[in-house]
């Protein structure tokens, strides 16, 4: 079977982007007190410079301040969205920035929290983000595994797979591809083996999950 990293088994990482040093220090201390690892950045540029490839990221959440010198939190969010950033984003905002927070939600942030906030409320919000992150990364890992299996198929096996997905009988595929029924059966078995499935229903399900 294709091995994929199970996000549930990987230690999560909370990312913090806030220009307020005291706020960064306070949040890191809070997260450490409940066993959550974190990394903090004082600007969007510093965060982007340290950002790994999305496919290599651990489960986590990004706690993002709205108002910062240089690139704002909303500008950073838009940039990340354009580059397939996989982690949920929690917006931290002041009372005067609620409209901005609403815009962030419309742009894909999973929630926002107003300053000043209760520590437990922040922890609850981050934990919700971590659960969402594990779900997203799990789906992404499964997708990469399926795409890897599809990449093993030869051009002829891809044609047979298309016939299978279209519900064609072996006899019909043999006529369409000008092959013997026996040859179609061999290709069909090879498709099942390379796709690592044991039933037609499973094959259809995993390929359909890519759409």
pLDDT tens string 31-74: 999 999 999 999 999 999 998 777 677 899 999 998 888 998 88
* Same structural domain, 94 and 174: no
Residue 121 domain flag: yes
Residue 1 domain flag? no
Bridge partners of residue 40, in order along the sequence: 16
* Token pair 């999950």: residue: 209
Residue 164 lies in a domain: yes
Question: Which of 94, 112, 140 marks a domain boundary?
Answer: 140
**CA–CA distance, 97 with 115 (Å, rounded to integer):** 10
Q: Does residue 201 share a domain with residue 122?
A: no
pTM, 2 dp: 0.71
Does 156 share its domain with 135?
no
Whether residue 186 is found in the same domain as residue 113 = no
Contact yes or no for 188/160 (Cβ under 8 A): yes
In a domain, 147, yes or no: no
Are 41 and 101 in a shared domain?
yes
Residues 88 and 134 in one domain: yes
Q: How confident is the model at residue 6 (pLDDT cuts 50, 70, 90)?
A: low
Longest dimension (CA), the chain: 73
Q: Is 99 in the same domain as 193?
A: no
Residues 98 and 202 occupy one common structural domain: no
Q: Kindly state the tokens that stand for 164.
A: 């299978």
Quote the domain boundaries for residue 181.
Answer: 152-208
Q: How many residues are listed for the chain in this entry?
A: 211
Distance CA 134, CA 6 (A): 9
CATH code assigned at 187: 1.10.10.10
Which residue is listed with tokens 């437990």? 120
Q: Which helix (H) or strand (E) holds 10?
A: none
Could you tell me if 203 and 104 lie in one domain? Answer: no
Alpha helix ranges (H) inside the chain: 21-33, 44-50, 73-82, 98-106, 119-151, 155-165, 170-177, 181-194, 200-208
How many CA atoms lie within 13 Å of 6's alpha carbon, on the beta-carbon side? 2
Q: How many domains does the chain have?
A: 2
- Tens-place pLDDT, residues 134-166: 988 888 888 889 999 999 999 999 999 999 999
**Are 39 and 108 contained in the same domain?**
yes
Q: Are residues 201 and 106 in the same domain?
A: no
Q: Which two tokens mark 29?
A: 């201390």
Chain segment 102-140, per-residue pLDDT in tens: 888 888 889 888 888 899 999 999 999 999 999 888 888
Report the distance separating Cα 3 and Cα 198, nearest Å.
17
Q: Are residues 202 and 98 in the same domain?
A: no
């Amino acid at each position: 079977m294709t091995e994929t990293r199970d996000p549930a088994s990987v230690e999560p990482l909370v990312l913090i982007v806030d220009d307020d040093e005291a706020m960064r220090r306070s949040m890191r201390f809070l997260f450490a007190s409940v066993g959550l690892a974190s990394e903090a950045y004082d600007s969007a540029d510093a965060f982007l410079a340290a950002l790994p490839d999305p496919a290599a990221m651990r489960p986590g959440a990004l706690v993002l301040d709205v108002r910062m010198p240089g690139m704002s939190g909303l500008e950073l969010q838009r940039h990340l969205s354009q580059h397939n950033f996989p982690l949920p984003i929690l917006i931290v905002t002041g009372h005067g920035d609620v409209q901005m927070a609403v815009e962030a939600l419309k742009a894909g942030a999973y929630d926002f929290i107003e300053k000043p906030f209760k520590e437990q409320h922040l922890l609850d919000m981050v934990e919700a983000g971590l659960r969402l992150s594990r779900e997203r990364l799990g789906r992404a890992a499964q997708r990469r595994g399926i795409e890897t299996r599809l990449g093993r198929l030869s051009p002829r096996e891809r044609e047979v797979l298309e016939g299978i997905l279209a519900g064609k009988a072996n006899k019909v595929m043999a006529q369409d591809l000008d092959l013997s029924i026996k040859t179609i059966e061999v290709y069909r078995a090879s498709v099942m083996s390379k796709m690592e499935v044991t039933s037609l229903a499973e094959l259809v399900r995993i390929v359909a999950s890519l759409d």
